[in-house]
Amino acid sequence: MAQRPKRADGARNYDAILAAARRAFESHGAEAALEDVASQAGVAIGTLYRHFPTRAALVEAATRDGLAELVEHAEQTDTSADTLGALTEWMHRAVRHFSTFRGLVGILAQSMYDEGTPSHAACSAMHDSGAQLLARAQEAGLVRPELTPDELFDLLSAVAWVRENATADRDGSAQLLDHFLTGVVLPH
């Protein structure tokens, strides 16, 4: 996992590369040219690779905050009296993050199950936070008890894939997530 350097010049380069990568990924997807990222950051390609030795390391750093925000949101709402509302809101946030840029949902899905990927720890923490919200909603009798955390993650990945691949005027992912929720929420 890439870490922000302590030296001022290294930290500036790291931050510039990360900002440029986020812009490039949002515009061109996960396969954005790293040479363009380095150029936009005002550094040589060797500097980019010194901070982020692989594309996966750069993607992990670019998405780390979003995954951490999902964990934090789950922790903040874990004590909410509205367990179904907390789970639903978290799911909508997860779909938005998973589809931040084209190709991210596939990277996160692989990272969830492959311990050798840079994003695995962050994905695992996010998965666990969602599993806790799911368990609370199931214990309250609001969500089907047979829905597993892995199935929840797969469901979110599927909806995020739809969002990631839709044009802005044809994004039906929110409605699709609502349809999935109708199938897993128990009548009350």
Domains and CATH numbers, the chain: 1-53 (1.10.10.60), 55-184 (1.10.357.10)
CB atoms within 10 A of CB 48: 23
Residue 87 and residue 137 in contact, taking contact as beta carbons nearer than 8 Å: yes
**pLDDT on residue 151:** 96
Q: Which has more confidence, 5 or 80?
A: 80
**pLDDT on residue 5:** 67
Residue 114 and residue 61 in contact, taking contact as beta carbons nearer than 8 Å: no
Task: Kindly tell me if the per-residue pLDDT of 80 is higher than 90.
Answer: no
Task: Kindly tell me if the per-residue pLDDT of 188 is higher than 80.
Answer: no
pLDDT digits (tens, 9 = 90+) for 50-78: 999 999 999 999 999 999 999 999 999 87
CB atoms within 10 A of CB 91: 22
**pLDDT on residue 148:** 97
Task: Kindly tell me if the per-residue pLDDT of 160 is higher than 90.
Answer: yes
pLDDT digits (tens, 9 = 90+) for 20-55: 999 999 999 999 999 999 999 999 999 999 999 999
Amino acid at 159: V
**CA-wise closest residue to 108 among 163, 60, 61:** 60
Amino acid at 111: S
Report the mean per-residue pLDDT for the chain. Answer: 92
Judge if pTM exceeds 0.95: no
